Structures are given as structure tokens and as C-alpha cells.
Amino acid sequence: MSRINKSIPFWRREQFTPFLLLMPAILILLLVVLLPLLFSLYTSFTGYRLIRPDSLYNWVGFRNYERIFTNANFWYAFGRTVLFLTIALNLEFLFGLGIALLINKITWGQRTLRTIMMFPMMFSPILVGYQFKFIFNDNIGILNNALQALGLSDGAIPWLVDKQLAMFSIIFAEVWMSTSIFAILLLAGLFAMPRDPLEAAKVDGCNPWQVFRHITLPFLMPFAFIAMTIRSLDVARAYDIVDVMTGGGPAGRTELLWTLIARVGYDNSRMGQANAMAYVSILLSIAFTYYFFRKLIAARRYMGGAD
């Protein structure tokens, strides 16, 4: 219990010291994060059009939000983003886990492999988009040509047009680019793993599956949930790859939230409405982050590591 000395000004009191030390960081955060957020929140209640700066003061109340709630295209894009996120994250987790477990077994050349594994992350998403746009091109693409040359297909498969295949193609590109994030974080988890429980389990007669299922996996889950939180925020913002590969089309078949928002905000210049869409879609990110954090805390509690 600290003594309160009334002669000391409040900002010099001990319990205020942490706040005082954090003040520069808080101020900068307010300035660069909160202020733009508040501004864009304000514009979502206006008829702000990018090409008419004076429309910034055109207050329209909840009109933008009302339109969103009756706009089927927006909710389709919303649903598609949730689907995209769920499939991409699960695949990235599974592949990342597999790669991490395999690399962990290697005793020679591990560093080189770790570096090679990071290569896809080093490309700009736009380049990755162009690369896969070319691979999946129905006419001149490598994939169709390879399938035809091997006699596996005699027609041009419309990878970027077909309803299922188009989503598959952009998920494939996303997974190709970002699986290594999971792999690297899970590998870090494997490196940090104590050997004792593993050896104790072996002594107790556990088979490798039981060791993996009951010791390795629970230990890795906090790492997985951290990766999922980061990636869910990333994937929910997916734009570059999709824009380059399909532009959200055809007929909105691959339209995700951010390709739609960018079109409304920039091409149609309706920044007010785009910001309203962005605020509704942030709910998605908050929901996923909340879910993964709860899972993270549960996983750490299971391991006896957190309260």
C-alpha cells in the first residue's frame, strides 16, 4: 500500500509513473490511430465523395449504414470473406504444422530450408497475384497447358471464372504466399518445447500419435492461435492478390469485402459509404480476434501457463 502524500502533485505520485512513461506512446497512438479512425467514422455518416471535397460536411445520418444492411452484394461479399478466411486459415495451419514438424526433424541444412521456406513471403502480393493469374490463365496458363500435355484434360479449364475454381485459385495463391508464417511460428514453438514431457511419455509407453496429440499439439496451440490472430487480420483485409487475379469477378464470384470497398470508395468515389462498409467489416476482424484470443487463453490455461 502506497502512502499518499498530499504535497506531491498527482502526476509525480508513484501510481501515475507508468502512465507518465507511457504518455508519449499513448499520444502518438492517439494521433496516428485514433484520430484517422474517428475521422473515417465521421465520414461514414456523411455523403462524402472523393471528388467533391465539400461533400465532407454533407451529414446523412445512418443512410450509408441503412443502405449496407439492404445491400445483398455487401452481405454476399461478407459471407465470402468469412468462407475465404476460414478455409485459408485452416489450410495454412495444417500445411504450416506439417512443414514445421518436418523441418524440426531435419538435422542438416535446416537453416537453409528455413530461409527457402520464407521465400513466398518476400514477394509483394501484387507479384504473387500476377504469377498465379498467369499460372491459372485458361488459354496460355502453365497449369492448363500442363494438364493438356499430360492428357489429363482436353479442354481449357476456366480456373479464374468457374464459381468454385475461382475461389479455389485465389485461396491457393493466398495459402502459397502465407503458409510459411504459420510454419515459422510453429517451428519456434517446437524449438521452445521442453524435452522432459516427451521423454516421460515415451517411457510411459505412448505411441508417436499419442505423444503428438496429447503433448506436442497442446503445446503448439498457443503459437497457432497467435499466428491465426495475425493472419485472420491479414486475410480479412485481402485485396491485392484478389484484385490482380480476378478483380472480384466475374459476376462478383470472388468479390471480397475489400475489393468491394475499394471499388465503392475509389472507382465510384463514394468514400462515405465505403467507410461505413469498412466499419461494419471491422466487426468481422474484431469477432475473429476475440475468438482466437479466447482460444489462446484457454490453450495457455490448459498448459498451465496463464491465468
Partner 1 sequence: MKKTTLRILAAATALPLLMTGVSFAEDIDYGKFDGYTLRVKLIGGAQYEPLYAEIENWEKMTGAKVDVLSRKNHFELDREIKQDIAAGTLDWCVGSNHTSFAPQYGSIYIDLNGVIAPETLAEFQELALANSTVDGRLVQLPRHSDISNLYYKKSLYEDQANKDKFKEKHGYDLAPPETWVQFKDQAIFFANAPEFYGTQYVGKDEAITGRFYEMLVAEGGSLFDEDWNPTFNSEAGVRAVQWFKDLYDAKAVPAGVLNYLWDDTGLGFASGTVALNLDWAGWASFFNDPANSKVAGDIGLVRAPVGSGGKRSGWSGSHTFSITDTCDNKEAAASFVSFLTSHERQMIEARKGLLPTRGKVWDEAIAEFAAADNDFMVEVFETYSQSMAEDAFTPPLIAPWIEVSNELWPRLQAAILGEMTPQEALDQAAESAREVMEDAGYL
φ/ψ (deg, to 5) at 49: -115, 135
Q: Which is nearer to partner 1, 91 or 262 (CB)?
A: 262
Would you say how long the chain is, in residues?
307
**C-alpha–C-alpha distance, residues 250 and 231, integer Å:** 26
DSSP string, 13-38: SGGGHHHHHHHHHHHHHIIIIIHHHH
Taking the complex as a whole, the smallest distance from the CB of residue 126 to partner 1 amounts, in Å, to 12
Least distance from C-beta 125 to partner 1, angstroms? 16
Other C-beta atoms lying within 10 Å of the C-beta of residue 40: 17
Q: Which residues of 5-14 are buried (b: 16+ CB within 10 A; e: fewer)?
A: eeeeeeeeee
- DSSP per position, 45-70: TBT-BTTBGGGGG-B-TTHHHHHHHT
**C-alpha cell of 211?**
505423444
Query: Closest CB to partner 1 among 113 and 157?
Result: 157
Q: Which is nearer to partner 1, 104 or 269 (CB)?
A: 269
Q: Please give the residue ranges that form the binding site for partner 1 (CB under 8 A).
A: 47, 50-53, 137-140, 144, 148, 155-161, 246-247, 249-252, 255, 263, 266-271
Q: Which is nearer to partner 1, 50 or 190 (CB)?
A: 50
The nearest distance, CB 258 to partner 1, in angstroms, is 14
Instruction: Name the one residue in this structure whose C-alpha cell is 502518438.
Output: 28
Please say whether the beta carbons of 285 and 85 come within 8 A: no
Q: C-beta of 268: minimal distance to partner 1 in Å?
A: 5
Question: CB of residue 155 vs partner 1: minimum separation in angstroms?
Answer: 6
Q: Tell me the closest approach of the beta carbon of residue 286 to partner 1, in angstroms.
A: 27
Nearer to partner 1, 72 or 203 (CB): 72
Q: Identify which of residues 196 and 267 has a Cβ nearer to partner 1 in the complex.
A: 267
Are 237 and 258 in contact by the 8 Å Cβ rule? The answer is: yes
183 vs 264, which CB is nearer to partner 1? 264
Nearest distance from C-beta of residue 175 to partner 1, angstroms: 21
Residue 228 CA from chain centroid, whole number = 7
